[in-house]
Structure 1
Amino acid sequence: MAWRFQASKFKNTTPHLPKKEDTIFDLPIGNLSCTNNGVQASGSYLAFHVEGEGGKLGALPINAKGRKLRKDMAIVCAHADQIDDFCFMTFNDDLLVTCSRDDNVKLWRLSGEEATPSLECEIHVGNGVLMDSIKSHSTASNIIAAASVGDAYVIDVERKVVATKLHGFVDKGQSVDWSEDGKLLAISADKGREVCVYDARSGTSPIQRLAVHQGLGRESRVLFCGDRLLSSGFTSKRAQEVHVLDVGRWDTPIHTQEYVSATGVLMPFYDPDTKLVFLIGKGTNKLFIAEFQSKVPHLSPVYEMSLAEQNLGACLGSKRNVKVMDGEVDTLYQLTKHCILPIPCIVPRRSYRDFHADLFPDTRGPKAGCTSGEWLAGSNSLPEKMSLAPNGTNGLPYVSSKTPSPMSPPVPTIKEAVKTVVEPRHSPDMQRARAQTHPVHTLTSGALSDSVSHSTFKTKIGLDGDKPEVKELVYTVDDNSEKENGLRKENDAHHKLAEVGVYPKLERSTSVDQSTVSLVPEPPIRIRQLNDKSDRSISARVRPKSCVVGVVASKFRHVETLIGARANNTIFTNIRNVNTQLPLETNGACTSGKFVAVPLKGPAGVVGIYDVEKPGKLPDGVMDGIFNKAQVTDLHWNPFDDEQLAVGTDVGLINFWRLTRDDGPRNEMHPEKVLNAGGEKILCFQWHPMASDLLAVALSDNSIEIWESKTLTRRRRIVSHSAAVMALGWSSDGHRLVSIGKDLMLNVHQPQLGDDCLLAQRKVLDRAHSGRVLYACDDRLIIVVGMTRSSSRQVQLFDASSLEEIYTQQIDSGTQPLVPHYDYDSSVLFLSAKGNRTINMFEVSCDSPYLLPLTPYTAPLIGQAIAFHNKKRCDVMAVEFQRAWRLTERTLEQVIFRVPRVKKDVFQSDLFPDALVTWRPVMTAEEWLAGSSKTPLFESLMPEGVSALAKPVAYVAPSRAPPKPAVSGLEHAHEPKVEPNRKEVQNSWSSKILEDRTLEQDEMEGVSEEEWTEAL
C-alpha cells in the first residue's frame, strides 16, 4: 500500500495561457470544416489550415509571434480539393506530408525563416484511392501510413512506392497511429466504433479487432500511449468518451471515462516522457490533462481548464523546444479562428535556477533508429535519445579572471566564438601552396594556450572519424578603424594584422595535441580608438568601499525597504485604467522632483500626472491626464526641468508638455511643442545627462537620432544596427552612447564625432525579446540586462574599454524583461519587472565578485513599474540612499531604500560620497555638439550645521618610482656580506649622550671630622 503515498512529479502540471505578445494573432483561419487536427508542429515550423481555401495551408516558423496577416506567411498550395490530413515527418522538421481525396500524397519542403514551400515529391498510391488520414512512422525514416476507405497503405517515401496494402476495416479510416516501438499500426474506423490493430510486416489483415465506442461520430481518434492504446469517440448519447486498452490484453478496456456532451471529438496527445495525456475538445473550449499510471485509475486526472476561445484544432509541440529552465514539460498549440496560442504546461517548483533532471528524462532524438529499407526488412532499432539539459545549468555564473581597467582606449579584441570544422588532409605540396596564398602567423605554444583558454569551443556532432579535426579561431578587427587610430600594440606580436580585405583575417597554426588550429570569422567585433580625454577626473572620486569581514560584502547589504504606509504614508489609491500593454522598450512610469507620470489605457495615449507632495485617494470618475492622441511608446521627464515631460508616440511624434501645480483640468491642455521625427515610430529615447535640451531617439527604421528639443532640430543621425533598437544608455560624462538592438548587437558610439561615430560592436544577446543597457562604475563597465533562449533573465558585465565579457549572472526566469536602475553614487543596481513582486538589488564592483547581493524586497502586490527620483530627494539624515515610486494596477506607492544605522544625528559620509549632479546641466547643447570635454559635477549631500561621521580619504595619485635594475640571484650570491662596524655604532650613540663625570655619592653630605672617634 506504499504507492498510495507516492505522489507523481507531474500531478501539479498547470497550463499557462500566454500573453498576447507571445501568440500569433490576426491569422486568416476562420471557420474550418476539416476532420483533422487543424494544425501541426515540428521542431522548426508550424502548418495550419487557412480560411476559404481547403487545398492550401499556412506555414510559419515555430518561434513566430505577433500579428501575421496573409502576406506575412507562406502559403502551401497543396491540392485542388480539401486537404484531408497533413503531418510533419518525424525525423525531418522541414518535410510536410499532405493528402487529399482527389490527388496523390505529396511531400513539401519548408525552408528559411519565411517557411518557403517547395514540392519535394509526389507518391501515387492508386487510381481512385481517397485518402483520409496519414501518419509518419515513430522509429524509421521515410515511412508513412495512410488510410482510405476499407484499405490502408504503408508507403516507402525513399522509393516512392506502396510497400504494403492493408485491409479488413469498414468505412473510412478516420485516424491512424504507430506504436512507440514502431511494430504495430492502429486504425480507427467504422465512424469510431471499431479499432483495427495491424502488424504491417507480418500480414495484411488485422491481428485485433476492437469494439470501442457505441456512438457514431464524424470524427474519432486512436493513439498509442506506451503499452496502452487510447481511443477517443462518442457514447450513444453523444457524450465525449475515452477508452484505454492494455496492449496484449485486448479483451476489455482497463479504463473508460465520459466527458461533456458535444459534437466535437476529444483530440488526444501523449507525451511518453511524462506519461501525460492532453485531451482538447474540438469545437469547445475545454482542455483536460490526465496522467497514465499503473494503478487504478489508470488515467488519473491532473488539470481541467476552460480556454478563452473555441478550439478549432490543436497539436503538441516538439519536446526539443520546451523551456526546461522554466519547468515547462510540454507546449500545446491551440488553433482558434484568428490565432495560434502556444500554451506552456509547467510543473511548479520552488526555484528554476537549476535544471530539474527528474522532470526531463532523456527524450527521443532527431535521428531515426533505422531507414525505411531496414524497417521493412525487420529491423526494430529505436531512435537514440538525447538530453534536454542545457549547457551550463549548474547554477554557477560565468566569471572572468580579468578586471576592467579605468576607461582607456580599446585595443583590438579576440573573437570569442570558435567553430569546429573538418577539412581533408592535404599533401605537403598543397600545404605549401596554401601557405603561400594565405600567410600564416605562428605563435608560441604559451601564447596560443593563453588565447585558446578564453574561448568557447562548439563541437559539431556526427562528423566522420576518419577526417582530421580542424579547430579554427578568428581575430577580426575593422581595418578602417585601425587606419584611423594609427595605434597598434607593439609589445603584442600576435595582435599584428595582415592587410587582407576590409576585415583582415589572422590565422594561427601550432601543434596542440597534434591538431591544426586555424581561424574562421563570425560577425566581427568592431573596435576603434576612443576619443578619450586625459583630463577626466571621474575615476578619481572617492566612493563607499565594501566591507571585508571574512568574505566580501556590501555596506548596503542590509538595505531596509519601506513602502506605502511605512514610507511616510505616501500613497496614491483608487488609480484606475493603468496601461499594462506598453511596449517592452519603455519602463512604464517616470518621476521628476514634483510629479509622477503614469500611462493609462485607451487609444488617445492618456498619461496621468500626480503631484508627489499631495498623495491620497484619487477622486472617482474619469481619470484626468494629458492626451497625446496616439499610443504612448516611451516617456521621460527632463532631468534639468521638473515641469517638462517628453512623451514618445507610435506615429513618430514626441510631445513636450509644460506641467505645473497650478494647472486646471489637464485633459484640455496641449503640448508646449511637438518634435516630428518623420513618421517613424518612436521606440525609446534618453535625455542627455549633462547637456541641456538634448536627447537621443531610437526609431523604427533602425536608426538613432540626436535631437535638440529647444529648436526641434536633428543634429545627428546614426545607423549602426541592422534591426530595431531596444535600449539606449548614456555614459555619465555624456561622451558615449551605447545601444542594443534586435540584431543582438551591442554598439558603442561617440556622437560628438558626427554621424559615423561607431566605436565598438559585438554580439551580446541570445534572444531578441528585450534588453536594457547602461554604464556603471565610473563608466568602466557596461551592464546588459537581457533574456536567454530559455527565458532566464540575466545580467552581463562588459569592460567598457574592450567590450570583453567579465561576468554573467542569471537572476530568475520570467516572460517580462528586467528593468534596471543604477544609482551612480552608491553603485547599487535595482532590478524589477512588470508582473513581479520582487525588487532585486546588487552592489556593482569592478573587482570580483562583481555583483554583491543586497537584501531583496518582496511586495504584497504585483507591480507594473517603478520610477526613481534623483539623489536630491533623499533624506540623508535618515540614511536614505534612494527613493522611488512603485506602480500597481490600483495604487502608486512611495518606496524608500535606507541603510539601518544607529547614529542618525551625524552625516554618514561613508555611505554618501559627493553625489553626481544629475539635476543641473553642465553645458548647453551647442557646447556639447561643438566637442566640449567638460567633466561631470559632484556635490556634497551633507546638510549645513551637521557634523560628519568620517571624512573620506582624499584621493592621491600614486607616484611612480623609477624601476630598480633587476639583479639576478647569481649576482647576489657573489656579493660580499657587509657587516656594520661596532665601534662606529657605539661612537654614534655616545655622541648623542651628554658627558657627565660626577658620581652620585659626591652629592651626599657626611659627618664632621670631630665626630669620628678612634676605636680603642
Structure 2
Amino acid sequence: MSRRVVRQSKFRHVFGQPVKADQMYEDIRVSKVTWDSSFCAVNPKFLAIIVESGGGGAFIVLPLAKTGRVDKNHPLVTGHTAPVLDIDWCPHNDNVIASASEDTTVMVWQIPDYVPVRSITEPVVTLEGHSKRVGIISWHPTARNVLLSAGCDNLVILWNVGTGEMLLALEDMHTDLIYNVGWNRNGSLLVTTCKDKKVRVIDPRKQQIVAEKDKPHDGARPIRAIFMADGKIFTTGFSKMSERQLGLWDLSNFEEPIALQEMDTSNGVLLPFYDADSSIVYLCGKGDSSIRYFEITDEAPYVHYLNTYSSKEPQRGMGFMPKRGLDVSKCEIARFFKLHERKCEPIVMTVPRKSDLFQDDLYPDTPGPEPALEADEWLSGKDAEPILISLRDGYVPVKNRELKVVKKNILDNRPPPGPRRSHSNADISSPTLEEVLEEIRALKEMVQVQEKRISDLEHKLCQFTNGTD
C-alpha cells in the first residue's frame, strides 16, 4: 500500500486576499495605451500609476496612506509630450522615479514627501538618446544612479543619472523590437527577449552576448525572461498551439530547459514577478483575473505550483512591493497593487502562522536602499552583491534624499572617508536647507492660492451685499 508524500515547503499554504474597500485607491483613470507594461510602480513610500492625460503623457503619485477616492484634481507628474509607457522607482532613493515615453525621452523625477500643490512638470534630468519610443526602463540593483532604457529603435542604453550622461549603448545586438530587459542579482549581466524569438544574456560592460537561446517558446506571442537569484533564467511565452508556457533554463546548458510547463490558452502575456528571498515567481497576465504563484527549487520538477489568487475583475496592470515595504507582523510575504479600469486594489499574500513572534524563516535579510557601488566603480568592472538589511524591527523609510545632477563626476563631491571634520558641515546641511526652501516655496504658492480665493469670495460678498441694499 503506497503512501502519498506531500512536498515540504513553508510556502505551501500561502494565500492571497484583497484589502478592505476603504483601503483601495479609486477614481484613477488608468492609461489605455496598448503596451505590455505593468503601468504601475510601488515602493515603501509611494504608489505611481500611468494615467490618461490630454496633450501628453502623465502619471500620478500617491502616498501609500492616501487610500480611498482620489481627487480628480490631484497633481500629476507631467512633462512628456506623448504617452508614458513605463515607470520605475529608484531602489536606492524612495523619492526618485524614472519614466519612459513615446516621445523618445527618459525623465527622472524627484517626488517630495508632502503632496505638492500643483502638478510636477520639471524633471531633475531628461535623458535623450533614443530615436524611437522608449518602452522599458530599469534601475541597476546595486550601483547608484545607473539606469537602463530600451527603445523601439532596438537599442539598449545605460545612463549615469547623476551626471546626465550616457555610459554605454548596446547596438547591433537586437534585430527587432525588444520585449523586456532584466538584471541579475548583482547587476553584472542582462537578460533580454526580442521579437526575433531569441533570449539573450548580455554582459553590458563588455558589450557582448554571453549566451543566446533561439525559440525557448515556439509561439509567435511575446516572451518574458527574468534572472533567478542563483543565475538561472525563468521565461514565459506561448507554444505553437497558443498555450501559455513557463520555462526554467540553466546558462551552462541553454539548449534544453530544466523545466517547461504548459498552463492555459489565454491570450494575455504573462508578466513574471520574482521574490528572491522566498524563491517564488508570481505570474500575472494582462486581462487575467488571477495571480498564479510557483516556488522554484533544486528538486524535480523544479517549478512547483503553489496556488492561485482569483478575483472577478480583469487586471490592466500590476505593481509589486519590494520586500522591505511589507508588514512582517502579519507574515506578509508579497503585496501586489492590481490595476482595474478605474481603481487600484492591493492584494496581500500571507503565510498563516499562529505565533506573533518574528518569523526568521520567512524574512531572511533582504536588499536595502543603500547602493553597494558608485556608477563609475561599476563601469570600471567592479561587482558587488546588494547590501542587505534585517526586517526584524520592520523597515522605516529613510528621509528624503535629494538627487543632484552635475556635469562633472559626482564622485568628486563625495566627503572623504573617516571622521567628519568641521569643513564638511556645509555639505551635510545643504540638502536640509534645500528641503526647507522647497517647503517654503510650496507654502508660499499655497498662500497665494488661498489669498486669491479669499479675495474672490470677498468680491462676490460685496456684490451680493450691494445687490440687497
2:153 is aligned to 701
TM-score scaled by length of structure 1: 0.37
Q: In 1, Cα distance between the equivalents of 2:242 and 2:64?
A: 36
CA distance in 2, matches of 1:814, 1:698: 27
Query: 1:710 Cα shift?
Result: 1.4
Quote the residue 2:277 is aligned against.
Answer: 825
Moved more, 589-598 or 818-827: 589-598
What is the match of residue 933 of structure 1?
Answer: 383
Separation in 2, partners of 1:789, 1:814: 13
**Pair 1:677 & 2:132 matched:** no
2:335 matched to which residue of 1?
A: 883
Match of 2:249 in 1: 798
In 2: Cα distance, 1:788 partner to 1:918 partner: 38
Unaligned runs of 5+ in 2: 395-469
Identity %: 28
Query: 1:692, 1:671 → 2: CA distance?
Result: 18
Q: Aligned match of 1:561 in 16, 26, 29?
A: 16
| Count of aligned positions | 387
Q: 1:783 to 1:666 in 2, by over 3 A?
A: farther
Match of 1:759 in 2: 210
SS at match of 1:551: coil
Counterparts of 1:545-584 in structure 2, within 5 Å, are 550-565=5-20, 569-575=22-28, 577-584=29-36
8 Å Cα contact 2:201/2:211 also seen in 1 = yes
Separation in 1, partners of 2:75, 2:97: 16
Distance 1:846 1:695, change over 3 A: farther
1:791 partner letter: S
Aligned counterparts of 1:692 and 1:668: Cα–Cα separation in 2: 24
How many angstroms apart in 2 are the aligned matches of 1:768 and 1:641? 38
CA distance in 1, matches of 2:132, 2:318: 28
Separation in 2, partners of 1:594, 1:839: 24
| 1:564 alignment partner AA | V
Normalised by the size of structure 2, how large is the TM-score? 0.78
Give 1:432-831 correspondences, 5 Å limit.
550-565=5-20, 569-575=22-28, 577-584=29-36, 586-602=37-53, 603-619=55-71, 621-622=72-73, 624-627=75-78, 628-667=80-119, 669-718=121-170, 719-753=172-206, 755=207, 757-763=208-214, 764-779=216-231, 781-803=232-254, 804-831=256-283
Indicate conservation of the 8 Å contact 1:563/1:893, yes or no.
Answer: yes
Residues in 2 aligned to 1:765 and 1:723: alpha-carbon distance in whole angstroms: 17
Q: Identify the residue that residue 292 of structure 2 maps to in structure 1.
A: 840
- Alpha-carbon displacement from aligned partner over 1:804-855 (angstroms, at most 9, x marks no partner): 4111112222222011100000011111122211110111113212122122
Residue 898 (structure 1) shift = 0.9
SS in 2 for 1:670: coil
Q: Distance in 1 between matches of 2:151 and 2:325?
A: 33
Q: Give CA-to-partner distance per residue, 1:239-280, whole Å, 9 cap, x none.
A: xxxxxxxxxxxxxxxxxxxxxxxxxxxxxxxxxxxxxxxxxx
| AA aligned opposite 2:308 | P
Residue 438 of structure 2 is matched in structure 1 by none
In structure 2, what residue type is equivalent to 1:823? D
Assess if the C-alpha contact under 8 Å between 1:554 and 1:854 holds in 2. Answer: no
Native 8 Å contact 1:796 1:805 kept in 2: yes
Q: Does the CA-based 8 Å contact 2:185-2:385 persist in structure 1? A: no
1:553, CA displacement in angstroms? 4.4
1:943 and 2:393 matched = yes
The DSSP-based 3-state class of the residue aligned with 1:877 is helix
Aligned-pair distance for 1:800?
Answer: 2.7
Equivalent of residue 374 in structure 2, options 899, 912, 924: 924
Instruction: Give, in angstroms, the shift of residue 554 of structure 1.
Output: 2.9
Equivalent position SS for 1:805: coil
Contact 2:185 2:229 in 1 (8 A): no
* Deviation string, structure 1 residues 42-87 (Cα, Å, up to 9, x no partner): xxxxxxxxxxxxxxxxxxxxxxxxxxxxxxxxxxxxxxxxxxxxxx
Alignment of 1:350-369 (within 5 A): none
Runs of at least 4 residues off by over 6 Å: none
The CA RMSD over aligned residues, in Å, is 2.0
**Equivalent pair of 2:159/2:166 in contact (CA under 8 Å):** yes
Alpha carbons of structure 1 residues 910 and 664: separation in structure 2 relative to 1, 3 Å: closer
1:872 CA drift (Å): 1.0
Equivalent runs, 1:338-349 vs 2, <5 Å: none
Which structure has the bigger radius of gyration? 1
Local SS of the residue matching 1:813: coil
How far apart are residue 615 of structure 1 and its match? 1.0
Whether contact under 8 Å (1:743, 1:768) holds in the other structure is: no
Letter in 2 for 1:936: P
Match of 1:863 among 315, 337, 348: 315
Report the 3-state secondary structure (helix = DSSP H, G, I; strand = E; otherwise coil) of the residue aligned with 1:667.
Answer: coil
Q: Aligned-pair distance for 1:674?
A: 0.5
- 1:940 positional shift: 2.7
Identify the residue that residue 417 of structure 2 maps to in structure 1. none
Deviation at 1:668, TM superposition (A): 5.2
Task: Report deviation, 1:551.
Answer: 3.3
